[in-house]
Amino acid sequence: MPFESINAGILSILPPVIAIILAVITKEVIFSLMLGILSGTVIYSLFIGSGFFGMMALTMELIIDKVSANADMLIFLALLGSLVAVITRAGGPAAYARWAIRRIKTAKGAGLTVSFLGLILFIDDYFSCLCIGNVMRPITDRHKIPREKLSYLIDTTAAPVSIIAPLSSWAAAVVSMLGAGGFETFLKTIPLNLYALLSIFMVFWLCIKKESDYGSMVKIITREPSSKEIDEIGSMEFSERGKIFDLITPILLLIVSSGFGMFYYGNNDAGKALALGAFISLTAAFLMYIPRRLLSIKDFFYSMGLGIKSISPALLILILAWTISSVCHDLLSTGIYISEVFIRFNFPMPLLPMVFFITACLLSFSTGTSWGTYGILIPIALGITHNGDSVLVIITLSAILGGGVFGDHSSPISDSTILSSTASQCPHMDHVKTQLPYALTAAAVCVMGYILAGFTASLGYGISIIIMLIFSLGLLTAILAVIPKLNRNNERKVLS
Protein backbone atom coordinates (compact mmCIF):
# COMPACT_ATOMS: atom_id res chain seq x y z
CA MET A 1 0.00 0.00 0.00
CA PRO A 2 1.60 3.33 -1.02
CA PHE A 3 1.80 6.07 1.59
CA GLU A 4 2.31 9.75 0.82
CA SER A 5 5.47 10.86 2.57
CA ILE A 6 5.97 14.24 4.20
CA ASN A 7 9.03 16.35 4.91
CA ALA A 8 9.16 16.27 8.71
CA GLY A 9 12.64 17.78 8.93
CA ILE A 10 14.56 17.02 12.08
CA LEU A 11 11.45 15.37 13.58
CA SER A 12 11.95 12.54 11.09
CA ILE A 13 14.83 11.13 13.15
CA LEU A 14 12.73 10.98 16.35
CA PRO A 15 11.21 7.47 15.87
CA PRO A 16 14.53 5.60 15.43
CA VAL A 17 16.16 7.66 18.18
CA ILE A 18 13.33 6.81 20.61
CA ALA A 19 13.44 3.13 19.67
CA ILE A 20 17.23 2.85 20.06
CA ILE A 21 17.48 4.80 23.34
CA LEU A 22 14.60 2.87 24.92
CA ALA A 23 16.02 -0.45 23.70
CA VAL A 24 19.35 0.35 25.36
CA ILE A 25 17.76 1.62 28.60
CA THR A 26 14.89 -0.86 29.07
CA LYS A 27 16.29 -3.87 27.16
CA GLU A 28 12.70 -4.40 25.97
CA VAL A 29 13.00 -4.36 22.19
CA ILE A 30 9.32 -4.95 21.38
CA PHE A 31 8.18 -2.15 23.72
CA SER A 32 10.84 0.19 22.30
CA LEU A 33 9.93 -0.55 18.70
CA MET A 34 6.23 -0.02 19.36
CA LEU A 35 6.84 3.38 20.94
CA GLY A 36 9.15 4.33 18.09
CA ILE A 37 6.46 3.37 15.56
CA LEU A 38 3.75 5.24 17.47
CA SER A 39 5.91 8.36 17.75
CA GLY A 40 6.33 8.34 13.98
CA THR A 41 2.64 7.87 13.23
CA VAL A 42 1.77 10.63 15.73
CA ILE A 43 4.13 13.04 13.94
CA TYR A 44 2.70 12.05 10.56
CA SER A 45 -0.91 12.37 11.78
CA LEU A 46 -0.24 15.83 13.22
CA PHE A 47 1.16 16.97 9.88
CA ILE A 48 -1.81 15.71 7.84
CA GLY A 49 -4.45 16.27 10.54
CA SER A 50 -5.92 12.76 10.63
CA GLY A 51 -6.66 12.71 14.37
CA PHE A 52 -6.32 9.91 16.95
CA PHE A 53 -8.36 7.28 15.11
CA GLY A 54 -6.52 8.01 11.87
CA MET A 55 -3.18 7.64 13.67
CA MET A 56 -4.14 4.25 15.14
CA ALA A 57 -5.54 3.08 11.79
CA LEU A 58 -2.34 4.17 10.04
CA THR A 59 -0.22 2.22 12.53
CA MET A 60 -2.19 -0.96 11.89
CA GLU A 61 -2.13 -0.40 8.11
CA LEU A 62 1.65 -0.12 8.23
CA ILE A 63 2.02 -3.36 10.18
CA ILE A 64 -0.38 -5.22 7.89
CA ASP A 65 1.38 -3.81 4.83
CA LYS A 66 4.81 -5.00 6.04
CA VAL A 67 3.48 -8.47 6.90
CA SER A 68 1.92 -8.70 3.44
CA ALA A 69 5.02 -7.38 1.65
CA ASN A 70 7.32 -9.76 3.55
CA ALA A 71 5.04 -12.80 3.74
CA ASP A 72 7.48 -14.92 1.73
CA MET A 73 10.32 -14.07 4.13
CA LEU A 74 8.14 -14.76 7.17
CA ILE A 75 7.13 -18.14 5.71
CA PHE A 76 10.77 -18.88 4.98
CA LEU A 77 11.76 -18.10 8.56
CA ALA A 78 8.92 -20.20 9.97
CA LEU A 79 9.87 -23.12 7.72
CA LEU A 80 13.53 -22.65 8.56
CA GLY A 81 12.71 -22.66 12.28
CA SER A 82 10.75 -25.86 11.72
CA LEU A 83 13.62 -27.37 9.72
CA VAL A 84 16.16 -26.53 12.41
CA ALA A 85 13.94 -28.10 15.10
CA VAL A 86 13.30 -31.23 13.02
CA ILE A 87 16.98 -31.69 12.18
CA THR A 88 17.88 -31.18 15.84
CA ARG A 89 15.23 -33.66 17.01
CA ALA A 90 16.44 -36.24 14.46
CA GLY A 91 19.91 -36.06 16.00
CA GLY A 92 21.84 -34.51 13.09
CA PRO A 93 23.46 -31.67 15.09
CA ALA A 94 24.11 -34.05 18.00
CA ALA A 95 25.94 -36.40 15.63
CA TYR A 96 27.98 -33.47 14.30
CA ALA A 97 28.68 -32.35 17.88
CA ARG A 98 29.94 -35.83 18.81
CA TRP A 99 32.16 -35.82 15.73
CA ALA A 100 33.40 -32.28 16.34
CA ILE A 101 34.00 -32.74 20.07
CA ARG A 102 36.44 -35.54 19.32
CA ARG A 103 38.31 -33.33 16.85
CA ILE A 104 37.88 -29.78 18.16
CA LYS A 105 40.13 -29.71 21.18
CA THR A 106 40.38 -25.98 21.88
CA ALA A 107 38.26 -22.86 22.11
CA LYS A 108 40.26 -21.50 19.17
CA GLY A 109 39.23 -24.47 17.06
CA ALA A 110 35.58 -24.03 18.04
CA GLY A 111 35.64 -20.32 17.17
CA LEU A 112 37.32 -20.93 13.83
CA THR A 113 34.77 -23.64 13.00
CA VAL A 114 31.94 -21.15 13.60
CA SER A 115 33.71 -18.61 11.39
CA PHE A 116 34.33 -21.04 8.52
CA LEU A 117 30.72 -22.22 8.63
CA GLY A 118 29.68 -18.59 8.28
CA LEU A 119 31.76 -18.30 5.11
CA ILE A 120 30.20 -21.47 3.68
CA LEU A 121 26.55 -20.69 4.49
CA PHE A 122 26.52 -17.48 2.47
CA ILE A 123 23.19 -17.74 0.66
CA ASP A 124 21.28 -15.69 3.25
CA ASP A 125 22.12 -14.06 6.56
CA TYR A 126 18.93 -15.37 8.22
CA PHE A 127 19.79 -18.95 7.31
CA SER A 128 23.40 -18.51 8.43
CA CYS A 129 22.42 -17.08 11.84
CA LEU A 130 19.80 -19.71 12.67
CA CYS A 131 21.70 -22.74 11.38
CA ILE A 132 25.16 -22.01 12.83
CA GLY A 133 23.80 -20.95 16.20
CA ASN A 134 21.87 -24.16 16.73
CA VAL A 135 24.62 -26.43 15.38
CA MET A 136 27.60 -24.86 17.14
CA ARG A 137 26.09 -23.79 20.47
CA PRO A 138 26.71 -27.16 22.21
CA ILE A 139 30.34 -27.16 21.06
CA THR A 140 31.11 -23.56 22.03
CA ASP A 141 29.43 -24.16 25.40
CA ARG A 142 31.69 -27.15 25.96
CA HIS A 143 34.76 -24.99 25.34
CA LYS A 144 33.38 -22.21 27.58
CA ILE A 145 32.97 -19.71 24.76
CA PRO A 146 30.29 -17.31 26.03
CA ARG A 147 27.01 -17.10 24.17
CA GLU A 148 27.75 -13.41 23.52
CA LYS A 149 31.00 -14.29 21.73
CA LEU A 150 29.22 -16.99 19.72
CA SER A 151 26.54 -14.46 18.77
CA TYR A 152 29.22 -12.01 17.61
CA LEU A 153 30.92 -14.64 15.46
CA ILE A 154 27.58 -15.64 13.92
CA ASP A 155 26.46 -12.07 13.28
CA THR A 156 29.77 -11.01 11.76
CA THR A 157 29.81 -13.91 9.31
CA ALA A 158 26.18 -13.37 8.29
CA ALA A 159 25.45 -10.00 6.63
CA PRO A 160 29.14 -9.13 6.00
CA VAL A 161 29.57 -12.40 4.11
CA SER A 162 26.22 -12.25 2.28
CA ILE A 163 26.94 -8.74 0.92
CA ILE A 164 30.11 -9.92 -0.86
CA ALA A 165 28.67 -13.26 -2.08
CA PRO A 166 27.46 -12.96 -5.70
CA LEU A 167 24.88 -15.76 -5.28
CA SER A 168 23.15 -14.51 -2.13
CA SER A 169 19.78 -12.93 -1.48
CA TRP A 170 21.65 -9.70 -0.67
CA ALA A 171 23.35 -9.66 -4.07
CA ALA A 172 19.98 -10.16 -5.75
CA ALA A 173 18.51 -7.19 -3.86
CA VAL A 174 21.42 -4.88 -4.64
CA VAL A 175 21.61 -5.86 -8.31
CA SER A 176 17.90 -5.05 -8.71
CA MET A 177 18.59 -1.52 -7.41
CA LEU A 178 21.56 -0.85 -9.70
CA GLY A 179 19.63 -1.24 -12.96
CA ALA A 180 21.31 -2.14 -16.25
CA GLY A 181 24.70 -3.79 -15.79
CA GLY A 182 23.95 -4.17 -12.10
CA PHE A 183 25.54 -7.59 -11.62
CA GLU A 184 28.86 -6.48 -13.14
CA THR A 185 28.79 -3.35 -11.01
CA PHE A 186 28.10 -5.41 -7.90
CA LEU A 187 31.07 -7.68 -8.62
CA LYS A 188 33.32 -4.61 -8.81
CA THR A 189 32.15 -3.42 -5.37
CA ILE A 190 33.23 -6.63 -3.62
CA PRO A 191 36.97 -5.87 -3.17
CA LEU A 192 36.07 -2.31 -2.18
CA ASN A 193 33.50 -3.27 0.46
CA LEU A 194 35.76 -2.38 3.34
CA TYR A 195 33.37 -2.90 6.22
CA ALA A 196 32.51 -6.45 5.17
CA LEU A 197 36.14 -7.41 4.52
CA LEU A 198 37.49 -5.84 7.71
CA SER A 199 34.73 -7.37 9.83
CA ILE A 200 35.52 -10.86 8.50
CA PHE A 201 39.25 -10.22 9.11
CA MET A 202 38.43 -9.23 12.71
CA VAL A 203 36.50 -12.46 13.29
CA PHE A 204 39.50 -14.63 12.47
CA TRP A 205 41.90 -12.32 14.33
CA LEU A 206 39.81 -12.53 17.51
CA CYS A 207 39.58 -16.32 17.18
CA ILE A 208 43.31 -16.88 16.60
CA LYS A 209 44.99 -14.29 18.82
CA LYS A 210 45.01 -14.86 22.56
CA GLU A 211 43.68 -12.10 24.83
CA SER A 212 42.57 -10.10 21.80
CA ASP A 213 39.08 -9.18 23.06
CA TYR A 214 38.30 -5.73 24.39
CA GLY A 215 35.38 -3.60 25.50
CA SER A 216 32.38 -5.24 27.18
CA MET A 217 33.33 -8.64 25.78
CA VAL A 218 36.30 -8.90 28.16
CA LYS A 219 34.04 -9.09 31.21
CA ILE A 220 31.92 -11.73 29.49
CA ILE A 221 34.99 -13.78 28.50
CA THR A 222 36.38 -13.84 32.04
CA ARG A 223 33.17 -14.84 33.80
CA GLU A 224 32.27 -18.42 34.63
CA PRO A 225 29.57 -19.93 32.38
CA SER A 226 26.33 -20.45 34.26
CA SER A 227 25.15 -23.98 34.93
CA LYS A 228 21.84 -23.04 33.32
CA GLU A 229 23.57 -22.51 29.98
CA ILE A 230 25.32 -25.90 30.10
CA ASP A 231 22.34 -27.84 31.44
CA GLU A 232 20.04 -26.42 28.80
CA ILE A 233 21.97 -28.23 26.07
CA GLY A 234 22.12 -31.45 28.00
CA SER A 235 18.35 -31.53 28.46
CA MET A 236 17.53 -31.36 24.74
CA GLU A 237 15.71 -34.42 23.41
CA PHE A 238 16.97 -35.96 20.18
CA SER A 239 17.41 -39.28 18.44
CA GLU A 240 20.68 -41.01 19.28
CA ARG A 241 20.67 -42.78 15.91
CA GLY A 242 21.06 -39.59 13.88
CA LYS A 243 24.04 -39.22 11.56
CA ILE A 244 26.00 -36.24 10.26
CA PHE A 245 24.35 -37.09 6.94
CA ASP A 246 21.02 -36.14 8.54
CA LEU A 247 22.38 -32.65 9.19
CA ILE A 248 24.32 -32.04 5.99
CA THR A 249 21.80 -33.30 3.43
CA PRO A 250 18.86 -31.01 4.31
CA ILE A 251 21.21 -28.02 4.48
CA LEU A 252 22.75 -28.78 1.09
CA LEU A 253 19.28 -29.28 -0.35
CA LEU A 254 18.24 -25.92 1.08
CA ILE A 255 21.22 -24.18 -0.57
CA VAL A 256 20.83 -25.94 -3.93
CA SER A 257 17.04 -25.68 -4.13
CA SER A 258 17.14 -22.00 -3.06
CA GLY A 259 19.66 -21.39 -5.84
CA PHE A 260 17.38 -23.07 -8.37
CA GLY A 261 14.48 -21.11 -6.89
CA MET A 262 16.27 -17.82 -7.56
CA PHE A 263 16.79 -18.95 -11.16
CA TYR A 264 13.14 -20.00 -11.43
CA TYR A 265 11.59 -16.89 -9.86
CA GLY A 266 14.28 -14.41 -10.80
CA ASN A 267 16.68 -12.44 -8.60
CA ASN A 268 13.96 -10.02 -7.53
CA ASP A 269 12.02 -12.76 -5.72
CA ALA A 270 14.69 -14.06 -3.34
CA GLY A 271 12.12 -14.46 -0.55
CA LYS A 272 10.01 -16.84 -2.65
CA ALA A 273 13.10 -18.79 -3.66
CA LEU A 274 14.22 -19.18 -0.05
CA ALA A 275 10.74 -20.22 1.07
CA LEU A 276 10.63 -22.80 -1.73
CA GLY A 277 14.08 -24.07 -0.78
CA ALA A 278 13.07 -24.44 2.87
CA PHE A 279 9.88 -26.27 1.88
CA ILE A 280 11.78 -28.70 -0.36
CA SER A 281 14.39 -29.29 2.34
CA LEU A 282 11.72 -29.88 4.99
CA THR A 283 9.94 -32.34 2.68
CA ALA A 284 13.24 -34.16 2.08
CA ALA A 285 13.84 -34.33 5.84
CA PHE A 286 10.42 -35.95 6.25
CA LEU A 287 11.30 -38.58 3.62
CA MET A 288 14.71 -39.17 5.24
CA TYR A 289 13.68 -39.41 8.89
CA ILE A 290 10.27 -41.09 8.94
CA PRO A 291 11.11 -44.32 7.03
CA ARG A 292 14.24 -44.81 9.21
CA ARG A 293 12.18 -44.13 12.34
CA LEU A 294 14.43 -41.38 13.56
CA LEU A 295 11.16 -39.56 14.23
CA SER A 296 7.55 -40.64 14.22
CA ILE A 297 5.09 -38.62 12.14
CA LYS A 298 3.70 -37.19 15.37
CA ASP A 299 7.18 -36.17 16.59
CA PHE A 300 8.03 -34.64 13.22
CA PHE A 301 5.07 -32.27 13.20
CA TYR A 302 5.37 -31.64 16.93
CA SER A 303 8.98 -30.56 16.30
CA MET A 304 7.80 -28.30 13.49
CA GLY A 305 5.44 -26.61 15.94
CA LEU A 306 8.26 -26.17 18.45
CA GLY A 307 10.44 -24.65 15.75
CA ILE A 308 7.80 -22.12 14.76
CA LYS A 309 7.14 -21.32 18.41
CA SER A 310 10.83 -20.75 19.10
CA ILE A 311 11.13 -18.30 16.21
CA SER A 312 7.87 -16.42 16.88
CA PRO A 313 9.37 -13.75 19.19
CA ALA A 314 11.97 -12.96 16.53
CA LEU A 315 9.23 -12.83 13.88
CA LEU A 316 7.31 -10.28 15.96
CA ILE A 317 10.40 -8.14 16.41
CA LEU A 318 11.16 -8.41 12.71
CA ILE A 319 7.66 -7.23 11.79
CA LEU A 320 8.02 -4.25 14.12
CA ALA A 321 11.51 -3.51 12.80
CA TRP A 322 10.20 -3.52 9.23
CA THR A 323 7.33 -1.27 10.33
CA ILE A 324 9.55 1.36 11.95
CA SER A 325 11.67 1.28 8.80
CA SER A 326 8.49 2.01 6.82
CA VAL A 327 7.64 4.86 9.19
CA CYS A 328 11.04 6.40 8.52
CA HIS A 329 11.14 5.74 4.78
CA ASP A 330 7.52 5.90 3.61
CA LEU A 331 6.07 8.47 6.00
CA LEU A 332 8.73 10.83 7.36
CA SER A 333 11.51 10.69 4.71
CA THR A 334 14.14 10.12 7.38
CA GLY A 335 16.71 8.85 4.90
CA ILE A 336 16.30 11.81 2.57
CA TYR A 337 16.66 14.24 5.48
CA ILE A 338 19.84 12.58 6.77
CA SER A 339 21.28 12.39 3.26
CA GLU A 340 20.54 16.04 2.58
CA VAL A 341 22.20 17.11 5.83
CA PHE A 342 25.48 15.64 4.60
CA ILE A 343 25.16 16.43 0.91
CA ARG A 344 24.17 20.10 1.28
CA PHE A 345 27.69 20.90 2.60
CA ASN A 346 28.90 20.32 -0.98
CA PHE A 347 31.98 18.34 -0.03
CA PRO A 348 34.65 17.77 -2.71
CA MET A 349 33.99 14.71 -4.89
CA PRO A 350 36.87 12.59 -3.46
CA LEU A 351 35.19 12.80 -0.05
CA LEU A 352 31.88 11.38 -1.31
CA PRO A 353 32.69 7.73 -0.43
CA MET A 354 33.41 8.73 3.17
CA VAL A 355 30.29 10.93 3.33
CA PHE A 356 28.04 8.19 1.95
CA PHE A 357 29.60 5.58 4.22
CA ILE A 358 28.86 7.66 7.32
CA THR A 359 25.37 8.47 6.03
CA ALA A 360 24.67 4.79 5.37
CA CYS A 361 25.98 3.86 8.83
CA LEU A 362 23.74 6.39 10.57
CA LEU A 363 20.69 5.55 8.50
CA SER A 364 21.03 1.77 8.75
CA PHE A 365 21.76 1.92 12.47
CA SER A 366 18.75 4.18 13.05
CA THR A 367 16.32 2.09 11.02
CA GLY A 368 17.90 -1.35 11.50
CA THR A 369 17.66 -2.07 7.79
CA SER A 370 20.38 -2.23 5.18
CA TRP A 371 18.19 -2.91 2.16
CA GLY A 372 16.08 0.16 2.97
CA THR A 373 19.29 2.18 3.25
CA TYR A 374 20.40 0.95 -0.17
CA GLY A 375 17.05 1.84 -1.67
CA ILE A 376 17.42 5.43 -0.43
CA LEU A 377 21.12 6.14 -0.98
CA ILE A 378 22.04 4.21 -4.13
CA PRO A 379 19.82 6.37 -6.40
CA ILE A 380 21.20 9.53 -4.77
CA ALA A 381 24.80 8.34 -5.20
CA LEU A 382 24.25 7.39 -8.82
CA GLY A 383 22.69 10.80 -9.45
CA ILE A 384 25.54 12.74 -7.83
CA THR A 385 28.35 10.73 -9.48
CA HIS A 386 26.66 10.32 -12.87
CA ASN A 387 29.16 12.55 -14.64
CA GLY A 388 32.07 11.71 -12.35
CA ASP A 389 34.92 9.22 -12.50
CA SER A 390 33.63 5.65 -12.92
CA VAL A 391 36.03 4.33 -10.28
CA LEU A 392 34.70 6.90 -7.81
CA VAL A 393 31.17 5.66 -8.55
CA ILE A 394 32.16 2.07 -7.66
CA ILE A 395 33.93 3.20 -4.50
CA THR A 396 30.91 5.27 -3.44
CA LEU A 397 28.53 2.35 -4.06
CA SER A 398 30.85 0.06 -2.08
CA ALA A 399 30.82 2.54 0.79
CA ILE A 400 27.00 2.55 0.81
CA LEU A 401 26.87 -1.25 0.81
CA GLY A 402 29.38 -1.46 3.66
CA GLY A 403 27.67 1.28 5.65
CA GLY A 404 24.36 -0.52 5.28
CA VAL A 405 25.92 -3.70 6.64
CA PHE A 406 27.22 -1.76 9.66
CA GLY A 407 23.67 -0.97 10.75
CA ASP A 408 22.38 -4.44 9.94
CA HIS A 409 25.28 -5.86 11.91
CA SER A 410 25.14 -3.65 14.99
CA SER A 411 21.75 -1.96 15.46
CA PRO A 412 19.60 -3.39 18.28
CA ILE A 413 16.58 -3.28 15.96
CA SER A 414 18.29 -5.06 13.07
CA ASP A 415 16.84 -8.40 11.94
CA SER A 416 20.16 -10.28 11.68
CA THR A 417 21.29 -8.91 15.07
CA ILE A 418 18.04 -10.18 16.56
CA LEU A 419 18.35 -13.59 14.90
CA SER A 420 21.99 -13.94 15.99
CA SER A 421 21.13 -13.45 19.65
CA THR A 422 18.08 -15.70 19.27
CA ALA A 423 20.06 -18.55 17.70
CA SER A 424 22.83 -18.18 20.28
CA GLN A 425 20.29 -18.01 23.13
CA CYS A 426 21.97 -15.02 24.72
CA PRO A 427 20.22 -11.83 25.94
CA HIS A 428 19.69 -9.60 22.93
CA MET A 429 21.01 -6.35 24.41
CA ASP A 430 24.05 -8.15 25.84
CA HIS A 431 24.87 -9.21 22.29
CA VAL A 432 24.46 -5.62 21.07
CA LYS A 433 26.65 -4.13 23.80
CA THR A 434 29.49 -6.63 23.40
CA GLN A 435 29.49 -6.47 19.60
CA LEU A 436 29.25 -2.70 19.15
CA PRO A 437 32.90 -1.87 20.09
CA TYR A 438 34.11 -4.27 17.40
CA ALA A 439 31.71 -2.88 14.80
CA LEU A 440 32.72 0.71 15.60
CA THR A 441 36.41 -0.21 15.29
CA ALA A 442 35.91 -1.56 11.78
CA ALA A 443 33.72 1.42 10.86
CA ALA A 444 36.31 3.93 12.08
CA VAL A 445 39.01 2.31 9.92
CA CYS A 446 36.58 2.36 6.97
CA VAL A 447 36.17 6.12 7.30
CA MET A 448 39.92 6.58 6.89
CA GLY A 449 40.08 3.95 4.15
CA TYR A 450 37.35 5.59 2.07
CA ILE A 451 38.98 9.01 2.36
CA LEU A 452 42.15 7.48 0.92
CA ALA A 453 40.19 5.57 -1.72
CA GLY A 454 38.41 8.72 -2.87
CA PHE A 455 41.66 10.56 -3.44
CA THR A 456 43.33 7.59 -5.19
CA ALA A 457 40.36 6.84 -7.47
CA SER A 458 42.02 8.79 -10.29
CA LEU A 459 44.92 6.30 -10.27
CA GLY A 460 42.64 3.52 -11.53
CA TYR A 461 40.41 0.77 -10.11
CA GLY A 462 43.11 -1.81 -9.36
CA ILE A 463 45.66 0.60 -7.88
CA SER A 464 43.01 2.25 -5.69
CA ILE A 465 41.97 -1.16 -4.33
CA ILE A 466 45.55 -2.18 -3.50
CA ILE A 467 46.37 1.10 -1.74
CA MET A 468 43.11 1.15 0.22
CA LEU A 469 43.30 -2.50 1.34
CA ILE A 470 46.96 -2.34 2.39
CA PHE A 471 46.37 0.84 4.38
CA SER A 472 43.11 -0.33 5.98
CA LEU A 473 44.31 -3.81 6.93
CA GLY A 474 47.54 -2.37 8.32
CA LEU A 475 45.70 0.23 10.38
CA LEU A 476 43.17 -2.28 11.69
CA THR A 477 45.90 -4.76 12.62
CA ALA A 478 47.74 -2.08 14.59
CA ILE A 479 44.54 -1.08 16.40
CA LEU A 480 43.64 -4.67 17.26
CA ALA A 481 47.15 -5.23 18.62
CA VAL A 482 47.10 -2.13 20.83
CA ILE A 483 43.53 -1.79 22.16
CA PRO A 484 43.44 -5.05 24.24
CA LYS A 485 46.71 -4.05 25.94
CA LEU A 486 45.36 -0.61 26.77
CA ASN A 487 42.17 -2.25 28.04
CA ARG A 488 44.09 -4.57 30.37
CA ASN A 489 46.34 -1.73 31.62
CA ASN A 490 43.29 0.39 32.48
CA GLU A 491 41.75 -2.52 34.39
CA ARG A 492 44.94 -3.02 36.38
CA LYS A 493 44.98 0.70 37.30
CA VAL A 494 41.37 0.50 38.47
CA LEU A 495 42.11 -2.59 40.59
CA SER A 496 45.21 -1.01 42.12
The answer to whether residue 431 is domain-embedded is no
pTM of the entire structure? 0.73
Is residue 198 in some structural domain?
A: no
pLDDT value of position 386: 56
Which tens digit of pLDDT belongs to each residue from 193-208? Answer: 999 999 999 999 999 9
Q: Which residue ranges of the chain lie beneath pLDDT 70?
A: 1-2, 24, 27, 97, 176, 179-180, 222-239, 267-270, 335, 338-339, 342-343, 347, 383-389, 488-496
**What pLDDT, on the 0 to 100 scale, is given for residue 251?**
83
In a domain, residue 481? The reply is: no
341 inside domain? no
Which residue range forms the structural domain that includes residue 240?
A: 71-168+225-318
What is the pLDDT at residue 471? 96
113 in a structural domain: yes
Contact 126, 156 (CB under 8 A): no
Q: What is the pLDDT of residue 232?
A: 37
Please tell me the predicted confidence (pLDDT) of residue 224.
Answer: 54
Residue 145 identity (one-letter amino acid) = I
What integer pLDDT is reported at residue 226 of this predicted model?
46
- State the total domains in the chain: 1
Determine the pLDDT at residue 229: 42
**Is 326 contained in some domain?**
no
- Please indicate, yes or no, if residue 272 is contained in any of the structural domains: yes
Q: What is the model's pLDDT at position 213?
A: 87
Of 171, 162, 165, the C-alpha closest to 416 is 162
Residue 230, in any domain of the structure: yes
